[in-house]
Amino acid sequence: MRLGVYVNYRGTCEEAFRFYEQHLGARVTSLLRHKQQPNPQLLADWGEKLVHARLDLAGMTVMGADIPHAEPMRSAYLTLTLESEAEAERVYAVLIEGGEAFAKITKTPFANRFAMLRDRFGTSWMLLHHGDQA
């Protein structure tokens, strides 16, 4: 048995996954477009949008799709545990651009660096660097 995460986007799934590939060291492993389905069920202009995608990120598979009325993630976060304070700061800077901070990156009693945010694609992230706080 394996646990994965599935994230829906309002037409920006490929852009989001390519962004994570470029800035987080992820690897897109599969892209299937709505028009590739035997009987596409969405609007004609959604043919190039993704019906299913897979991304390998930090040892985990993240899946996603473009859904016309998808809502941003709420009360669930993709959580990245980072190996250094510098990497935590870098990833925060990349993901917060055009996004929204719920908890700006800072030191906490449980982590050298901790942040909670929603990126410009609607994906919610929690960032942790434990350092000597583990």
More confident residue, 40 or 119: 119
pLDDT tens digits for 57-106?
A: 999 999 999 998 999 888 899 999 999 999 999 999 999 999 999 999 99
pTM above 0.75, yes or no: yes
Q: CATH topology for 5-66?
A: 2,3-Dihydroxybiphenyl 1,2-Dioxygenase; domain 1 (3.10.180)
Question: Is residue 134 packed enough to be buried (19+ CB in 10 Å), middle (13-18) or exposed (0-12)?
Answer: exposed
Tokens (6 digits) for 28: 């897109």
pLDDT tens digits for 16-38?
A: 999 999 999 999 999 999 888 87
Multiple choice CATH, 78-133, 3.30.720.110, 3.40.50.300, 3.50.50.60, 3.60.10.10: 3.30.720.110
Fold matches, 5-66 and 78-133: no
The residues spanned by each domain of the chain are: 5-66, 78-133
Residue 114 has pLDDT above 80, yes or no: yes
